[in-house]
Amino acid sequence: MLNLKNYIFIPIVIFSIFACDQEVEEPKDSSEAMNSGQWSLVWSDEFDSDVIDLQKWNKLLWRPGWVNNESQAYTARDTNLFVRNGKLVIRGLIEPGYAGTDYTGTDYNTDFTSGRVNTSGKANWTYGRFDIRAKLPKGNGSWPAIWMLGENISSVGWPHCGEIDIMEHVGFDDGNIHGSIHTTDYNHMLNTQKSGHISVPTATDSFHLYSLEWDSTYIRYLIDSEPFFFIYNDGGGDENKWPFNKSHYIILNLAIGGDWGGIQGIDPNAFPMEMEVDYVRVFKKSESLKNVNVTFQVDMKHQSTSGTGIWLSGGNISSGQPGGLQMESVEDTTIWEITLNLPPNSNYTYKYRNGYYPSSWSGGWESVPDNCGADQHNNRSISVGEADMILPAICFSRCSVCE
């Protein structure tokens, strides 16, 4: 599913700047990240006061149609943005003929209003774990999102600044949660965005924990602390592919309608729509949590190697894209290898692919035998522990080394 966000940079009034690398007091309701001892809390909002903390959040004032042909106006009113029972509530309303003024001073009329907040200019981060516990709205036309944008958007624009979508959901596809990145080379305008999704049937009925682990070499998406999507940094220093080495800020919003959310219309009986956020917590990795170097090897002894080389692809290790991760030939052998820097105690599925096919799921795949296939697609599998690993040079399309 495409993540349709053709963003235009909007200047934000900056009220104050906060340092983001100092540990803060842990809330009483500790999450798994805190309990593990592998992450330390550096910023949070538990929404335990009566009002939204404007030292932490900006409220956006946008007219309808500003991005993605969305139908709502974003207002700062306490009917659209407020705290209730220790939770941030972003409420979408149907208000025929509502008249307002956006941040530029432009007057507008709309039939729908909602809310959008961000931390731009107040708090931003490069790497870490981001935990957001939320319950999503029901109803066709709803399009809630928890996401991040590069703080340098004002100077480089979108998508070169980078976008990380931690969670997106559209009401007509109830319970299907999406995670994505968008960059200059990987974005929906080119149909090259890197996206994953998972079914969470109770997403609109109960609270779930939407998490992102972001490191210099990977981005990992989790729901209720269970990983569901993984993106490895294949940029090689090219910011057109991987601009995620600079600071990003958090955005929470509930859009109504638009290019994606409105595909099946807006249900007028679904209002008011509410996204509730229990907390937002940001962590930094502890010194004891070390990534693991894993070397993958495949022997092409019995194969005619494609001129575009051998690729580690398929499964969940190569971000759901058909291209995969490029391997290197080992001199004076028929072996190809790649070393990845991966999070410890993590699991992956994958295949080797003879040739580069960036826009197709056909061609080049090895046929892994049943006795070493791990799932319905007969992908190979690996469990990463806490020590570096060098895998044996398995024969292409076989379970053992080449004879």
- Banded model confidence at residue 73, pLDDT cuts 50, 70, 90: very high
Residue pointed to by tokens 């994606």:
260
Domain ranges of the chain: 32-285, 292-395
Asked if the domains 32-285 and 292-395 are classified in one and the same CATH topology, the answer is: no
pLDDT number for residue 12: 34
pLDDT number for residue 321: 77
Average pLDDT taken over every residue of the chain: 91
Select from 308, 298, 261 the least CA-distant residue to 372: 298
Judge whether 163 counts as a catalytic residue: yes
Active-site residue (options: 163, 274, 276, 337)? 163
Give the count of beta carbons closer than 10 Å to the beta carbon of residue 70: 25
Judge whether 213 counts as a catalytic residue: no
**Of 193 and 131, the one with more pLDDT:** 131
Domain 292-395 CATH superfamily = Immunoglobulins (2.60.40.10)
DSSP-derived 3-state class of residue 307: coil
**Of 127 and 26, the one with more pLDDT:** 127
Return the minimum-mean-pLDDT range out of 28-32, 52-56, 215-219: 28-32
Give the count of beta carbons closer than 10 Å to the beta carbon of residue 34: 17
**Interior CA angle at 160 toward 327 and 250, to 5°?**
105
DSSP string, 198-225: EE-TTTTTS-EEEEEEE-SSEEEEEETT
pLDDT number for residue 191: 83
> Above 90 in pLDDT, residue 299?
yes
Write the class of the CATH domain 32-285.
mainly beta
**Of 320 and 257, the one with more pLDDT:** 257
Active-site residue (options: 70, 95, 151, 168)? 168
Instruction: List C-alpha distances in Å: 240 to 7, 191, 249, 348.
Output: 17, 15, 19, 26
pLDDT number for residue 1: 34
pLDDT number for residue 17: 33
pLDDT number for residue 10: 35
Task: Report which secondary-structure segment, H or E, holds 113.
Answer: strand 107-114
Average pLDDT over residues 51-69: 97
pLDDT number for residue 34: 66
